[in-house]
Structure 1
């Protein structure tokens, strides 16, 4: 599982070195391939293959004859790309993915259970509350 958050740098070529704690949480059987998706709230989601395959199977199982489900399939499969970690543990983020998320030099990489997310610092502050009382209220609402 991926957790916590880290401030990182995107190099001029668009490469991001994954924080060692997050890289260490990627299952060994995964290999060097990860799936990168344009995700909710203008962040990018990084999935190890086992987590991606779970999500992919759910999307593939939707009914292509249902217009709404077909639209979801198209949107999903057109917003995802395979990326490879190099020997230094870096991934290359394609330019159109950088543009979608508004990424510049400084980014926040955060763990979110089965996936990692890449944010601009501004969007991270906007969409991810680190206030314990906010988290407690949501836990009470959804986990009680």
Structure 2
């Protein structure tokens, strides 16, 4: 990750009447001193996904540029990704203006839950977040074990030690 610490934790905030949201101080402390721009995307689980612009640029270079652009699926993905994205700069009070179309898509009115997701963070409608946590905790250990297994297999493939099960 270029110049950004890991975003962790969860925070409850309120969007003001102009659609601005304060970025948690804990998250702002993770940014490099010259980082003040964010990219907003429709996220998984009907959230708003928020990337610091330097991290987003790094992601585009590492991942997106390797995706095939000639398939119909990829074209749809890229069109939606970039047409639905938004961009905002932190103001002097540490707030960003959330794109209205993304607030509507995520079902966000006033209150939100902001959660860390490592290199980026998510903005949730509170009830959707509570439901997600309740359902996900039921499978936490299984999902953790599966993610660990997949990481182990990727590491073995990278090293050339492919297992024959």
Match of 2:59 among 49, 55, 60: 55
Per-residue Cα deviation, 1:100-136 (whole angstroms, up to 9, x for no partner): 1111111000000110100011111122359766433
Give me the TM-score of the superposition, normalised by structure 1: 0.89
Cα distance between partner residues in 2 of 1:7 and 1:110:
9
Return the alpha-carbon distance in structure 2 between the equivalents of residues 108 and 77 of structure 1: 24
Higher Rg of the two aligned structures = 2
Unaligned 5+ residue runs, structure 1? none
**1:72-87 alignment to 2 at 5 Å?**
72-87=77-92
What are the Cα deviations for residues 75-119 of structure 1, in whole angstroms up to 9, with x where unaligned? 111121111100000001121111111111110000001101000
Which structure exhibits the higher relative contact order, with contacts defined as CA atoms closer than 8 Å and separated by 6 or more residues? 1
CA RMSD in angstroms, aligned pairs only: 1.9
Q: How many residues are paired up?
A: 143
Structure 1 runs, 4 residues or longer, greater than 3 Å off: 128-134
Is it true that 1:2 corresponds to 2:4 in the alignment? no
More strand by percentage: 1
TM-score (norm 2): 0.78
1:141 aligns with 2:146: yes
